[in-house]
């Protein structure tokens, strides 16, 4: 059997969720969209279900996968619904939905509900992607408030640059959010912080936080932050050395000859490539961990294989275990070597079997 696998540490996942919830001080929506960032939505949601206040997903399809696996906790559709035809399904499965556009307010006004709904009303506080403008917000809120079957409205927004610890955009967005909250007729539960907002911006911790990336043990904060030090990597992507060769100095390795040996070099071939989700354009020098010791990628990553430098690892050879990211090697550091993000690498995992540890 091909020796590549992704081990998913469910204890680390629960640890990170508890950490997020304790930091937030209120309730925490565990964001498990995109198949739990590549970790497997159903097993991750099941592992968190006994303690999670709710789950966040990107679509009804993702929500139904959780419901069908027996998850009966609240599930919020983070992008709302895409078509009014989805409303009966939202109702039947008791999902919570975001409303981010005036047409969605109209669709809800036309809906005849038979059970209470929870709706999160999204403000565009400066990211300029999804959300009602500050001018539209009050009107939408009042119209939704007037629907007797909506029993809870939550005010929400989303940060665009909370991982940049010295950037003014996060306090600016908070000011826009607070101004909108101040105009509402009653105090409403509020939610704005994603992982970075939650860890790095204490004033962003409101009634609900919405941690995603941090649940999986990663972050992109651009400065040291104690809250991030407590995270534990959930996924370990590893494979094994399947061939070893000795090359003289001056020999090219792999496609396009992007790396040429500068000394007699012992090369290890590892059974993992870009078809598994490892970044194709990770540069020579990208860190790997060889039998527990730090090492380096050399040469272009292929579809099914990559090559590493074993010259300074005389104890390693055929069958050695190579960690490509995990507890000893932050996925964010690997991502940075190819202009990628940990979000992209984790959600891009393919073909590799996932093995769950509890």
Ligand X SMILES: *Cc1c(COP(=O)(O)O)cnc(C)c1O
Cα 112 to Cα 196: distance, rounded to the nearest angstrom: 38
By beta-carbon distance, which residue lies closest to ligand X? Answer: 212
Of the candidates 17, 33, 122, 137, the residue annotated as catalytic is 33
Kindly provide the b/e burial profile for residues 40-57, where b requires at least 16 CB atoms within 10 angstroms of the residue's own CB.
Answer: bbbbbbbbbbeebbbbbb
- Asked whether the beta carbons of 67 and 49 are under 8 A apart, the reply is no
Cα 191 to Cα 178: distance, rounded to the nearest angstrom: 11
Q: Smallest distance from the beta carbon of 32 to ligand X, in angstroms? A: 10
Q: Smallest distance from the beta carbon of 220 to ligand X, in angstroms? A: 8
Active-site residue 137, yes or no? no
Q: Smallest distance from the beta carbon of 216 to ligand X, in angstroms? A: 8
Q: Is 305 annotated as a binding residue?
A: no
In sequence order, the 6+-apart residues with CB closer than 8 A to the CB of 280 are 273, 274, 300, 301, 338
Cα 254 to Cα 189: distance, rounded to the nearest angstrom: 56
| Whole-Å CA distances, 349 to 61, 103, 170 | 20, 36, 31
Contact region with ligand X (CB under 6 A), list: 189-197, 252-260, 274-282, 318-326: 189-197
Q: Is 129 annotated as a binding residue?
A: yes
Active-site residue 356, yes or no? no
Site residues for ligand X, 199-218, by CB under 6 A, read 210-214
12 near ligand X, rule: CB under 6 A: no
Q: Smallest distance from the beta carbon of 79 to ligand X, in angstroms? A: 7
31 near ligand X, rule: CB under 6 A: yes
Contact region with ligand X (CB under 6 A), list: 190-198, 250-258, 274-282, 286-294: 190-198
Cα 288 to Cα 350: distance, rounded to the nearest angstrom: 19
Binding-site entries: 129, 303
Q: Kindly list the catalytic residues.
A: 33, 255
Interacting residues toward ligand X by CB under 6 A: 31, 33, 78, 158, 194-196, 210-214
């Amino acid at each position: 059997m091909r020796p590549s696998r992704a081990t998913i540490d469910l204890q680390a996942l629960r640890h990170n969720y508890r950490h997020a919830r304790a930091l937030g001080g209120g309730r925490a929506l565990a964001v498990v969209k995109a198949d739990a960032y590549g970790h497997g939505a159903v097993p991750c949601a099941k592992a968190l279900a006994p303690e999670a206040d709710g789950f966040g997903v990107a679509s009804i399809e993702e929500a139904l996968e959780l419901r069908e696996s027996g998850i009966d906790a609240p599930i919020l559709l983070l992008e709302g619904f895409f078509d009014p035809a989805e409303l009966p399904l939202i109702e039947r499965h008791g999902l919570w939905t975001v409303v981010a556009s005036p047409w969605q307010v109209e669709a809800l006004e036309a809906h005849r509900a038979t059970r209470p709904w929870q709706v999160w009303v999204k403000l565009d506080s400066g990211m300029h992607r999804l959300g009602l403008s500050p001018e539209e917000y009050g009107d939408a809120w009042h119209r939704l408030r007037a629907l007797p079957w909506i029993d809870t409205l939550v005010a929400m927004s989303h940060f665009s640059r909370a991982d940049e610890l010295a950037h003014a955009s996060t306090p600016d967005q908070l000011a826009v959010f607070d101004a909108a909250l101040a105009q509402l007729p009653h105090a409403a539960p509020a939610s704005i912080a994603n992982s970075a907002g939650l860890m790095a911006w204490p004033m962003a911790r409101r009634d609900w936080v919405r941690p995603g990336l941090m649940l999986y043990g990663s972050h992109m904060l651009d400065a040291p932050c104690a809250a991030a030090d407590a995270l534990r990597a959930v996924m370990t992507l590893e494979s094994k050395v399947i061939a070893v060769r000795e090359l003289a100095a001056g020999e090219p390795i792999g496609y396009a000859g992007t790396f040429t040996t500068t000394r007699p070099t012992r090369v290890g071939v590892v059974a993992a490539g870009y078809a598994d989700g490892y970044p194709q354009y990770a540069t020579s020098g990208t860190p790997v961990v060889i039998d527990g010791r730090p090492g380096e990628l050399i040469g272009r990553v292929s579809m099914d294989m990559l090559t590493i430098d074993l010259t300074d690892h005389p104890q390693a050879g055929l069958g050695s275990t190579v960690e490509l990211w995990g507890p000893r090697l932050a996925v964010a550091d690997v991502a940075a070597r190819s202009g990628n993000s940990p979000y992209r690498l984790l959600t891009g995992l393919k073909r590799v079997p996932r093995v769950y540890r509890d």
